[in-house]
């Protein structure tokens, strides 16, 4: 998995939008469609000792059907939905000592999906 990323929600979403848009962002092709598929190819399937749950992971992402994403300690989250061509990112400006118990990002992702319908 990835660690030590630095950025705000806008910059994280901009980078991850490349994958959501099939390798192209702002009119520039950065990844081939095959490269996008490779990023989501399952590399690991098993039990995550920290999260205490079963997971499927690709190259830096947890895999969920046609979407993928990653959460961070403190509550940050990025979700990439390839079917909706959507990226949702949440990065807090202060790290609270709540570990994995911060669910604000989940509410933002749910609101984004409600906005699509």
Domain ranges of the chain: 9-116
Residue 92, pLDDT score: 83
Query: In this model, does residue 2 exceed pLDDT 80?
Result: no
Query: In this model, does residue 97 exceed pLDDT 90?
Result: no
pTM greater than 0.85 (yes/no): no
Please indicate whether residue 107 or residue 94 has the higher confidence score (pLDDT). Answer: 107
Question: How wide is the angle at C-alpha 38 spanned by C-alphas 37 and 41, nearest 5°?
Answer: 90
Per-residue pLDDT of 46-82, as tens digits, reads: 998 877 889 999 988 899 887 999 887 778 889 999 9
């Amino acid at each position: 998995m990835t660690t030590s990323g630095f950025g705000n929600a806008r910059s994280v979403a901009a980078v991850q939008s490349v994958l959501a848009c099939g390798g192209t962002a702002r009119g520039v092709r950065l990844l081939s469609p095959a490269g996008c598929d490779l990023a989501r190819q399952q590399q690991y399937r098993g039990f995550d000792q920290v999260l205490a749950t079963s997971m499927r992971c690709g190259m830096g992402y947890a895999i969920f059907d046609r979407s993928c994403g990653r959460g961070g300690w403190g509550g940050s989250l990025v979700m990439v939905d390839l079917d909706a061509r959507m990226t949702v990112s949440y990065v807090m400006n202060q790290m609270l000592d709540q570990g994995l118990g911060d669910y604000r990002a989940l509410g933002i992702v749910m609101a984004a999906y409600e906005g699509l319908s």
